[in-house]
Structure 1
Amino acid sequence: MVSRVIPVDPFDLVIFGGTGDLARRKILPGLYRRFVAGQMPADSRIIGAARSEMDQAGYRQFVAEALREFIPDLRRAEGLSDFLGTIDYVAIDAQGDGGWAELAGRTRKDVVRAFYFSVAPALFGDLAERLHQHGITDASSRVVVEKPFGRDLATARDLNAVLARHFDETQIYRIDHYLGKETVQNLMAVRFANILFEPLWNSQFIDHVQITVAETVGVGGRGSYYDRSGAMRDMVQNHLMQLLCLIAMEPPYRFDPDAVRDEKLKVIRALDPVRPEDIVRGQYLANGQPGYLEDVENPASRTESYIALKVCISNWRWKGTPFYLRTGKRLRARTSEIAITFREPPHSIFEGEEGWKENVLVIRLQPNEGMNLRVMIKEPGPGGMRLTEVPLDMSFADALGETGADIPDAYERLIMDVIRGNQTLFMRGDEVEAAWAWADPVIEGWEARDDRPRGYDPGTSGPEDALMLLHRDGRRWREIRE
């Protein structure tokens, strides 16, 4: 299968925080790969903007070093010099006047102009105000903002209000890289481009859904930030919420940004409050390496590095089907997956046959993106009707050949969508606020109860209490493995 590369229009992309970690690891390598693939026009320009005093040559060297570090197999080095020719730099003072006149002179009026706020949310207002004051943006400009989109409903509203003072909602792209993953988008294709699953996609046929995002690393150098956020704010309220919405949403009337986001918003608003007994929080312990308390340098911390929740949706499609969400640090394996478990057949005609297992559709987001459907078949050979379970497996790398093995990174796709002006995979302001309106009472509840996270050993599946969350419902978590 040949992958089609559809070039975007020429653009100027200004990366505020252009010397930061996200720019080095994701944004600049992603843009380089799109340039080499022929999707980014050669007359486009990427302008780094940061506090560091640096000239164009210095920043180009910085970019080249980042590419060599984060694209180890830099095979097409012949395209590197051409890509670096698109790079520029302006030293900028986000809270003052330094550099803004120069930036205004570097951006063009006759191309798509996008501004990536890869900085702390506290600077969003300053950047928006100065872009407006210096006439650098207009009604066709686009602004990309990174999470966190607030830390509760009040701060999310304040942040939306700050952006709304200078940009229309159609200009704001709130980026969640999970929505740029190939498998996440294929979830929509599987549901809405095939008749096979949609008739079964409801509580009559689906027993439960598990969403797992497990990491083997600890909080690392993010200790001070993470201890103010925790797994609920850092992962559940955004990443896992978006995955839940894509599974549970009704078919939109068309594949249109607002139509898709309208349906996701309906799911969030239909979420039931989470009961205290349906929440398990944990912290990884020290075991040959520092534990969570040591990593965040706060021995009194009650912030969770692991959380599991049972979530219910009160609408006609999903009433009676629970969604189990879990995410954590220092777990057994690095994996992200969605597992849809279907109900047992209402009647088995195979008398005496034991060991029936559920049909499970597993959507793997990482590693080895793909889908796997487990079904029951007759075991080969004589001796009667014996049932066995087999997978119908579609690994993208295997099914699509070289195309599947070279799946674009989420940031590559999302940045190109910004240039196209396609907001389908970006969160809308009311969607962000609705998610916080659901999450805030959950967080306030355990704070009021003075709940302490349960300890768990690194390299396991999390706290023992999380097992009971499903056991009492007669279910069990899927094994965490790569």
Structure 2
Amino acid sequence: MNDSPRASAEHSDDAAANPLRDARDRRLPLISGPGSMVMFGVTGDLARKKLLPAIYDLTHRGLLPPSFGLVGFGRRDWSHDDFAEYVRESVIADARTEFSEPVFEQLRGGLRFVQGAFDDRAAFEELTRVVSELDASRGTGGNHAFYLSIPPAAFPQVCEQLAGSGLNTPRDGSWRRVVIEKPFGHDLASARELNDVVEQVFNPEDVFRIDHYLGKETVQNILALRFSNQLFEPIWNANYVDHVQITMAEDIGIGSRAGYYDGIGTARDVIQNHLLQLLALTAMEEPVSFRAADLRAEKEKVLAAVELPQDLAAHTARGQYVGGWQGGQEVVSYLEEDGIPADSTTETFAAMRLDIATRRWAGVPFYLRAGKRLGRRVTEIAVVFKRAPFLPFRSTDTADLGQNAIVVRVQPDEGVTMRFGSKVPGTQMEVRDVSMDFAYGTNFTEESPEAYERLILDMMLGDPPLFPRQREVELSWQILDPITQFWAEHMPPAPYRPGTWGPDTAHEMIARDGRSWRRP
């Protein structure tokens, strides 16, 4: 661990408790102070489609200072102007806000590019010079973030170069931060190794782990839904809840991600991070405050209380899509995708039952499922309630009545649906399910920001509640590792057709408990 001043700690938990911040006019957004970002992997898909447009959108909304600097680092033989044109093209193609020449020219003034490879010491010396030049010409104040949008295997080399050039060490009154993207390792051991590498160079509070799902408006709304309303929290427990389903479905295949995806699979790709974070937010106790330490503590308690089913064969499922028709188009099987070995056993669908050993959730199963080439693109959390203990109706009156549910729609139609029984108009007493729907798009005039906008701004502000810390990462791997190990030894993936909701084994898994999957 280096001995650099932990300047950013002043901007993390303490910032959330700052009385001036708490007393501010809530109509006024927080605006980042002086600083710059150095982006490694700036020519990759993530940077081009998400990160660069998000930085422009923040600039357009006035949430980054006019002096903000952005340094791209890559192998391409680009001048600063070449890089600026690349950023312009990315912004025009994928930014959420409309393109404005004056806004882009403001951003363009802080754009720089450094050519080099990760093992090129001279390139990092040039990067040091460029960062110093931004301090002098743009007034970035020695505040610099390093975004590692690169494979985890490259982290050690980049971190070593940053330390060797002194870029990781802030001067008094400034900060240096590092942002790392998932995957945070591929199992518990590799996650710990990765963390050791990063924390040898940066202090723990200066490490921001991006899980972009935590930046989504509806994910944050879980906290508002639960803890700002007396309506929900009294029934948010085992006395009333029958089970919880968390679904992340995609209707596409792996596309061009074969190099990353094969050998990783759905469970490691999205369940270990996205879905377990959604589980933690759904099941956590009310935090003392929304400061990072308090919020993370409650999430960690939930993850530590998760229990795996004793019979993994009966209560987990694994699948791999085959070829067929979806949406009127013929699609190939996973094994026929470009770059996938013909004998690959990587799963494209995963499902599991998890239990939480706490008084609030004892006996309430949490069912998680995720996959590609499923019926539609949707991410949702469905809290399904127990049936009323007594129904003073004839059985025919309630034949079409299901279980009450609260469904948080994370994407694409962000909102919340409540499902309950209501009488059908007419002379007979007939009760059917009806839905009461809240949709962000129709209830608020302001469009929800992209997740990366929120997360990049929070990182620049040094505000860490939405960023999982290492303890959460390790607890998630402790949950998943026994399952993936069992699968590797005993459970090859079962086939499923595109456009369906996974293999038969997934439906059999939940049917053993007398339940069925929702069809979103």
Same fold flag (TM > 0.5): yes
Match status 1:89 vs 2:113 = yes
Aligned equivalents of 2:487, 2:432: Cα separation in 1: 44
User: Could you tell me which residue of structure 2 aligns to residue 153 of structure 1?
Assistant: 188
Deviation at 1:448, TM superposition (A): 2.0
Q: 1:237 aligns with which of 272, 281, 291?
A: 272
TM-aligned CA distance change 1:72 to 1:126, over 3 Å: same
User: Could you tell me which residue of structure 2 aligns to residue 294 of structure 1?
Assistant: 336
Deviation at 1:134, TM superposition (A): 1.6
Give the residue type in structure 1 aligned to 2:376: A
**Contact 1:213–1:337 (8 Å) recurs in 2:** yes
**Contact 1:29–1:70 (8 Å) recurs in 2:** yes
Q: Deviations over 1:193-226 (max 9, x none)?
A: 2222111111111101111111111111111321
User: Could you tell me which residue of structure 2 aligns to residue 419 of structure 1?
Assistant: 460
Aligned equivalents of 2:232, 2:494: Cα separation in 1: 38
Aligned equivalents of 2:297, 2:510: Cα separation in 1: 31
TM-aligned CA distance change 1:475 to 1:105, over 3 Å: same
**Contact 2:315–2:510 (8 Å) recurs in 1:** no
User: Could you tell me which residue of structure 1 aligns to residue 436 of structure 2?
Assistant: 392
**Contact 2:60–2:97 (8 Å) recurs in 1:** no
Match status 1:278 vs 2:320 = no
**Contact 1:50–1:92 (8 Å) recurs in 2:** yes
User: Could you tell me which residue of structure 2 aligns to residue 46 of structure 1?
Assistant: 70
User: Could you tell me which residue of structure 2 aligns to residue 469 of structure 1?
Assistant: 509
User: Could you tell me which residue of structure 1 aligns to residue 161 of structure 2?
Assistant: 130
Give the residue type in structure 2 aligned to 1:373: M
TM-aligned CA distance change 1:284 to 1:3, over 3 Å: farther
User: Could you tell me which residue of structure 2 aligns to residue 377 of structure 1?
Assistant: 422
Q: 1:453 aligns with which of 472, 475, 493?
A: 493
Q: Report how many aligned residue pairs link the two structures.
A: 474
Superposition TM-score, scaled by structure 1 size: 0.94
Deviation at 1:297, TM superposition (A): 2.7
User: Could you tell me which residue of structure 2 aligns to residue 35 of structure 1?
Assistant: 59
- More deviation, 234-243/98-107: 98-107
Give the residue type in structure 2 aligned to 1:452: P
Aligned equivalents of 2:110, 2:435: Cα separation in 1: 47
User: Could you tell me which residue of structure 1 aligns to residue 451 of structure 2?
Assistant: 410
- More deviation, 117-126/85-94: 85-94
**Contact 1:5–1:37 (8 Å) recurs in 2:** no
Q: Deviations over 1:289-342 (max 9, x none)?
A: 321011143111111000111111111111110111111111111111111111
Match status 1:434 vs 2:510 = no
**Contact 2:56–2:95 (8 Å) recurs in 1:** no
Give the residue type in structure 2 aligned to 1:399: N
Give the residue type in structure 2 aligned to 1:454: A
User: Could you tell me which residue of structure 1 aligns to residue 358 of structure 2?
Assistant: 315
Q: 2:146 aligns with which of 109, 115, 138?
A: 115
SS in 2 for 1:442: helix
Aligned equivalents of 1:346, 1:180: Cα separation in 2: 39
Give the superposed CA RMSD. Answer: 1.7
SS in 2 for 1:373: strand
Q: 1:105 aligns with which of 129, 138, 146?
A: 129
**Contact 2:262–2:340 (8 Å) recurs in 1:** no
Aligned equivalents of 1:259, 1:138: Cα separation in 2: 28
Give the residue type in structure 2 aligned to 1:161: D
Match status 1:368 vs 2:396 = no
Aligned equivalents of 1:309, 1:459: Cα separation in 2: 20
User: Could you tell me which residue of structure 2 aligns to residue 347 of structure 1?
Assistant: 390
Match status 1:186 vs 2:221 = yes
Aligned equivalents of 1:59, 1:477: Cα separation in 2: 48
SS in 2 for 1:210: strand
Give the residue type in structure 2 aligned to 1:92: G
Aligned equivalents of 1:463, 1:182: Cα separation in 2: 31
TM-aligned CA distance change 1:416 to 1:73, over 3 Å: closer
Kindly, what percent of the aligned residue pairs are identical? Answer: 40
SS in 1 for 2:161: helix
Aligned equivalents of 1:429, 1:325: Cα separation in 2: 22
Q: Deviations over 1:265-299 (max 9, x none)?
A: 11111111242211111111012332101114311
- More deviation, 239-248/64-73: 64-73
Aligned equivalents of 2:428, 2:245: Cα separation in 1: 35
Match status 1:306 vs 2:349 = yes
Aligned equivalents of 2:96, 2:55: Cα separation in 1: 16
Match status 1:200 vs 2:235 = yes
User: Could you tell me which residue of structure 2 aligns to residue 19 of structure 1?
Assistant: 43
Aligned equivalents of 1:93, 1:464: Cα separation in 2: 47
**Contact 1:214–1:329 (8 Å) recurs in 2:** yes
**Contact 1:5–1:38 (8 Å) recurs in 2:** no
Give the residue type in structure 2 aligned to 1:293: L
SS in 2 for 1:220: coil
TM-aligned CA distance change 1:468 to 1:4, over 3 Å: farther
**Contact 1:363–1:370 (8 Å) recurs in 2:** yes
Match status 1:217 vs 2:217 = no
Give the residue type in structure 1 aligned to 2:314: E
**Contact 2:41–2:73 (8 Å) recurs in 1:** yes
Aligned equivalents of 1:233, 1:342: Cα separation in 2: 29
- More deviation, 90-99/325-334: 90-99
Deviation at 1:3, TM superposition (A): 6.8
Give the residue type in structure 2 aligned to 1:187: I
**Contact 1:261–1:427 (8 Å) recurs in 2:** yes
User: Could you tell me which residue of structure 2 aligns to residue 257 of structure 1?
Assistant: 292
Give the residue type in structure 2 aligned to 1:347: F
Aligned equivalents of 1:72, 1:415: Cα separation in 2: 15
Aligned equivalents of 1:390, 1:356: Cα separation in 2: 9
Give the residue type in structure 2 aligned to 1:163: V
Match status 1:338 vs 2:375 = no
Aligned equivalents of 1:434, 1:387: Cα separation in 2: 44
- More deviation, 159-168/120-129: 120-129
SS in 1 for 2:178: strand
Deviation at 1:444, TM superposition (A): 1.0
SS in 2 for 1:364: strand
**Contact 1:249–1:264 (8 Å) recurs in 2:** yes
